[in-house]
Structure 1
Amino acid sequence: MKNSVLKNAAVQRVVFTLYFVLSTSLMVSPVTLATEHEHSEHAGEASSVSASYICPMHPEVTSDKAGRCPKCNMFLVAKEEEEEAGSSEDVDHAGHDHSAMDATATKAPAASQADKVFNQPQNTLLPGKSAQTPTNIKYVCPMHPHVVSDAPGTCPICGMNLEKVTLGEVGEEVVVGVSGGMQQALGMRSETVTEGTLWKLVKTIGTVEYNENAIGHVHTRVTGWIETLKVHTVGQQVKKGQLLYELYSPELINAQDDYMQARDYLKQDKNRGAVLLKKARQRLELLGVSSASIQQLERTGETLYRVPFYAEQDGLISQLTVRHGMYVQPGDTLFEIVDLSSVWVIADVFENEQSWLQQGRAVEVTSAAQGLFDIESSIDYIYPELDPVTRAMRVRIRLDNPNQQLKPGTLVDVKLFGGPNRGVLAIPTEALILTGRENRVVVQRSDNQFASVPVKVGMIAQGKAEITEGLKAGDKVIVSGQFLLDSEASIQGSLQRLSGSNSAATDPHANH
């Protein structure tokens, strides 16, 4: 019943089109005919107009008259080139009224008018001999896939021959046939689905920071005044044992005097003098006086009014808060010294990737700016909290930096290896066709037969995608040119469903 209604509708559309074309050709006024007659007398004197026709699909195909392309059967499109007419010819035709002719010339050709009729969504099913054609065979326009017919013919829009499409049963896999020449033209490439190991890999960006375990703070333990200052700028390099400053402090002077008195008392009472001398020496050490200064005090017996203080580690001055002559007291930070022989790299990892990482897993760090590539290390620490703004987890990596090439604040590329995922089916990521509803791949069933298959994707890493459902080892998937095949398969799937619905509508026992 539905097929007969479609046939009647299609016949009505053809009759309407013929009526429209005939009415267009007959709508020519007597004035227009008279004008054309007068103009024909001067045809030899008029400006020459050379009309060429070209195929929209094959520009190399040209003709001097209307027709069809011998390659694809499309309508040739007119392309007019007007040549400038002579001045005498312009004078002869100055009095002629060409308005009617211009109006007629601007009318679209019959084929274009038919295009407007057939290029409607409800008029895409063309009439055909469906009674003599199997229901699983349709004819589709390659350029306008919404134009479908039950019988061979040409597209009313572009004139191309309708291509035969064989449909399977509803729910059956849709297979698309592509010749070898067309495969080369599309640049199609295939790769075999293999079973192997995928490494969980996280690529991110990190920032070089100071190793907080290598930061030393210099404080004074007594009150006093800076008499001599040997460090003047932030960033200045210092060596272990280098003099930093000299301090005048009454408290240190008293401690030295107590030490000398205990030393003198040792001569009178060895036992008690030894105890007092030990406590006096310990007091000097706790106040920050170096062993070299104490030895100098013992050797010379003279009190040091300017007590020297030395650097306890190599590094650079990252913080400087004092100047010559300043008064200082306990709790003041005079200097901050950072050892750059090792640094930290702090990298951010997305929340959904944190389960891949464990402390001790391998890491590679690259600093292209410094010419350092693939520096191997490991995850030193995983911070226990996420950044509340970025929802990222911080990972700490320790790197040796003997030449101090890595500067704090430098951005580096970080690769975090999360361990192997063994025995998985993997395909190149470019083979995936990602849609909003599902993921698909195009599988090569034979040399010239292809099918679009839905798949479920697992882990994606290192340019490979894990396939958990939909493929098996040994299948060949298309990695280039698969989007056109997937579109063709979608069209055929739609036709297949259309064929199934039409069959159900015409089956008298469909509702029993």
Structure 2
Amino acid sequence: MHMERRRLRRITLIAAAAVLMLGTAGLTWRWRTHHAGSAASAGATYYCPMHTSYHSDKPGNCPICSMKLVPLTASPAAGAPSPSASATGMADMPGMTPSGSAPPAGGTPPESAAEGPPTIQIPPERQQQIGVKFAAVVLQPARIEIRAVGRVAPDETRIAHIHTKVTGWIEDVFVNFVGQPVRKGQPLFTIYSPDLVASQEEYLLALRGRRELKDSPFSQISEGSSELLQAARRRLELWDMTPAQIRTLEATGKVARTVTVFSPVSGVVTERAAYHHGRTVTPDLDLYTIVDLGRVWVLADVYEYEMEHLKVGQAAEIELPYEGQPNNLAGRVTFIAPFLDPKTRTVQVRMEFPNSGQMLKPEAFVNVRLRRDLGPRLVVPKDAVMDTGKGQYVFVDKGEGYLEPRPVKAGAELERGRIITEGLREGERVASAANFILDSESRLKGAFEAMGRPQPGTAATAASGPKLRIELATSPSPAKVGKNTVRVKVADPQGQPVAGADVDVRISMPQMGSMAPMEAKATLQPETAGQYAGEIEIPMAWTWETTVTVRKGGQVLGTTRTSITAR
């Protein structure tokens, strides 16, 4: 009995709560309807962007959601908010439409806006508040500057490898450590070689024969002695005996047991194998490597897109990355590699620089600057160009607050600007600051992806390709929040209706801040030949991205992208 009473009491409480909730909802609905109607009839001037049915003749907050009321601008339907305002809900930025613009206060946007990307409008006072600045498109002499990190390397044409041309043994070593500077003609080491000793003896023998037979009455004997002497001398020269050593041999008439080997170049020893007394040497042994650092190479990697600005003979400058050394050393480009590095997509550029004071050390890093004059070019500030990944755009000042996002082709970056190769004319003004505020990242992507679409809120006519003509309309027009009828006409290029097709309409809204993305879909049914209709539920007031897809036999015949604005 006690349990039955408790159960009955619980049921009674639940029923009372349900009645209370229904009553509250009814009163709220009546209050909203009454105030909306009275506000509209009284000439309301403010509305809630989230609850568009609420209007007020005074500024303040919405009593339903506490959102700030925004001014109601004139629209085709009396008492209804403007499409741009109700579709976006940007109540925190009064006077701006979905892409950050203000609705035109009389008149129409410039003609180019209707033909190209959607033009936005921001009042001049608002431009000043958000920091919009403009700069003129100027035709000026342009100089491209390529910056890269270079590495100093020895000039490979100034590297000498010291070998002997005979087999022998080292006696004395005069240059005995790596890094030691040497001068041309400086002694390096002495070598004992039986071949050199024998060649000296042959030369002395030929020399004595020449002296004795030069006055012979037989010309053949006299000429033969001269030829023998020349051949013996030539052998000594080929084995790298110097003219001074040969003259000493002639003057003394004595064979030198060891012969001194001299450096043929000036430079620095980078490798050494002539280590000690008694080492056996052969012609294939590299005894010394001497590098002349009076001129060096600088190797730099330049990106693929900068290759067009490079040429052999081009002037080059380098800066040393440490203090206390002179900067702006001048050189020139002597070689551009004929192939790219497949991993880094760069090409190696070789430059030559004088290095009389040996200030540039091999393997040191330097900052490289390559400049090239390009002649007169159209130039805008660097910040004026916005790159979306799909294209490049600038905001062109069309006057009276109108800003046109115009696609351009941008060239190389200069020190204080960027070259424009297509899309602008000299004298036009472009926004050079606060571009990210003019169109935030999400707005920018959405607007640029929809370039060329019909203006929001109008019936869309867009062919997906050469196959179909697709027209979309809504009833009511403009659409409202809730259920709407959508009608699509499909015709072939000759205008003949396309019957028996499957037509889908999908509307979507991207994620906005903390608000999750939304979408709705409707499958249309045939109404008449080539015309299809169906109902779609629009969740809220917005300009919805709309995609119409036409299929037949499981294959897509065509699609079109447009927009539906719901109030």
Structure 1: distance between partners of 2:31 and 2:285: 100
Taking structure 1 as reference, are residues 21 and 378 closer, same or farther at Cα in structure 2, changes over 3 Å only?
A: farther
Q: Does 1:224 align with 2:168?
A: yes
Q: Is 1:466 equivalent to 2:411 in the alignment?
A: no
For residue 122 of structure 2, what is the amino acid of its counterpart? Answer: G
Match of 2:492 in 1: none
Deviations 1:201-253 (A, max 9, x none): 43222211100111111001111111000111111111111110000111111
The 3-state SS of whatever aligns with 1:267 is helix
Give, as a single letter, the amino acid of the residue that structure 1 aligns with 2:267.
G
Counterpart-to-counterpart distance in 1, 2:229 and 2:163: 26
Q: Which amino acid aligns with 2:343?
A: V
TM-score, normalization by structure 1 = 0.67
Matches within 5 A, 1:108-187: 114=65, 131-132=77-78, 137-138=82-83, 140=85, 146-147=88-89, 165-167=102-104, 168=108, 171=114, 174-180=119-125, 182-187=126-131
> Structure 1, unaligned stretches of length 5 or more?
1-13, 23-71, 76-109, 149-154
- Alignment partner for residue 482 of structure 1, among 435, 458, 461? 435
Q: Check conservation: 1:199, 1:461, Cα contact below 8 A.
A: no
Identical residues among aligned pairs (%): 29
Query: How does 1:105-504 map onto structure 2 within 5 Å?
Result: 114=65, 131-132=77-78, 137-138=82-83, 140=85, 146-147=88-89, 165-167=102-104, 168=108, 171=114, 174-180=119-125, 182-270=126-214, 271=222, 272-324=224-276, 325-369=278-322, 371-417=325-371, 419-446=372-399, 449-463=401-415, 464-487=417-440, 497-501=455-459
Distance 1:16 1:310 in 2: 112
Matched residue type, 1:498: P
Distance of aligned partners of 1:403 and 1:356 in 2 relative to their CA distance in 1, 3 Å threshold = same
Q: Which amino acid aligns with 2:88?
A: H
Cα distance change of structure 1 residues 274 and 129 upon mapping to structure 2, 3 Å threshold: closer
Q: CA RMSD in A?
A: 4.0
- AA in 2 matched with 1:334: L
**Which secondary structure does the structure 2 equivalent of 1:333 belong to?**
coil
Mapping of 1:83-94 within 5 angstroms? none
- Higher helix residue share: 1
Alignment gaps of 5+ in structure 2? 1-23, 33-57, 215-221, 461-471, 479-486, 490-530, 532-567
Distance across 2 between alignment mates of 1:492 and 1:166: 16
Shift of the alpha carbon at 1:492? Answer: 9.5
The Cα of 1:487 is off from its aligned counterpart by 4.1
Q: Residues 190 and 266 from structure 1, CA distance in 2 versus in 1: closer, same or farther, beyond 3 angstroms?
A: same
Match for 2:114: what amino acid? Answer: G
How far is the alpha carbon of 1:199 from its aligned partner? 3.0
Q: Which amino acid is the alignment partner of residue 233 of structure 1?
A: F
Contact 1:255/1:280 (8 A) holds in 2: yes
Secondary structure at the counterpart of residue 365 of structure 1: strand
- Looking at structure 1, the residues matched to 385 and 84 of structure 2 have their Cα atoms a distance apart, in angstroms, of 29
Matched residue, 1:94: none
- Give 1:429 shift: 1.5
**Distance in 1 (alpha carbons) for counterparts of 2:338 and 2:421:** 32
Would the aligned equivalents of 1:208 and 1:344 in 2 still touch at CA under 8 Å? Answer: yes
Q: 1-side partners of 2:300 and 2:96: how far apart?
A: 57
1:366–1:413: 8 Å Cα contact kept in structure 2? yes
Q: Point out the more displaced range, 331-340 or 501-510.
A: 501-510
Give 1:416 shift.
Answer: 2.6
The worse-fitting range, judged by mean Cα deviation, of 221-230 and 285-294 is: 285-294
Q: Deviations over 1:431-459 (max 9, x none)?
A: 1122133322222333x614032222231
Partner letter of residue 160 of structure 2? G
Higher mean displacement: 434-443 or 301-310? 434-443
Q: CA deviation at 1:15?
A: 6.5
Whether the 8 Å CA contact 1:176–1:485 is kept in 2: the answer is: no
Between the aligned partners of 2:370 and 2:391, the Cα distance in structure 1 is 29
CA apart distance, 1:192: 0.8
Select 1:18's aligned residue among 19, 28, 53.
28
Task: Work out the CA distance in 2 between the residues paired with 1:227 and 1:389.
Answer: 51
- The one-letter amino acid paired with 2:121 is V
Mapped to 2, the partners of 1:331 and 1:361 lie a distance apart of: 40
Output the CA distance in 1 between the equivalents of 2:156 and 2:436.
53
Residues 115-149 of structure 1, C-alpha deviations (whole Å, 9 max, x = no match): 6xx99xxxx9x9998621699x44638xxx8317x
What secondary structure does 2:456 align onto?
A: helix
- Pair 500,17 (structure 1): closer, same or farther in 2 beyond 3 Å: farther
Query: Structure 1: how far apart are the matches of 2:194 and 2:477?
Result: 114
Q: State the distance in 1 between where 2:27 and 2:182 align.
A: 95
The one-letter code matched in structure 1 to 2:210 is L
Q: Which whole-Å CA distance do the structure 1 matches of 2:122 and 2:134 have between them?
A: 15
2:321–2:365 Cα contact (<8 Å) kept: no
Whether the 8 Å contact between 1:350 and 1:391 is mirrored in structure 2 is yes
Are 2:392 and 2:408, in contact at CA under 8 Å, matched by a contact in 1? yes
Q: 1:251 to 1:454 in 2, by over 3 A?
A: same
- Cα distance change of structure 1 residues 206 and 322 upon mapping to structure 2, 3 Å threshold: same
Change (3 A) 1:387 1:294: same
How many pairs does the alignment contain?
392
Q: Find the aligned partners of 2:258 and 2:123 in 1 and give their Cα distance.
A: 94
Amino acid at match of 2:357: N
SS at match of 2:455: helix
Q: Kindly tell me: are residues 134 and 373 of structure 1, through their superposed partners in 2, closer, same or farther at Cα, counting changes over 3 Å?
A: farther
2:235 counterpart SS class: helix
Alpha-carbon distance in structure 1 between the residues aligned to 2:80 and 2:114? 18
Structure-2 separation of matches of 1:190 and 1:501 = 36
Report the 3-state secondary structure (helix = DSSP H, G, I; strand = E; otherwise coil) of the residue aligned with 1:355: helix
Deviation (angstroms), 1:162: 7.3
Bigger relative contact order, structure 1 or 2 (CA pairs below 8 A, ≥6 apart):
1
CA contact (8 A) 1:315 1:339 kept: yes
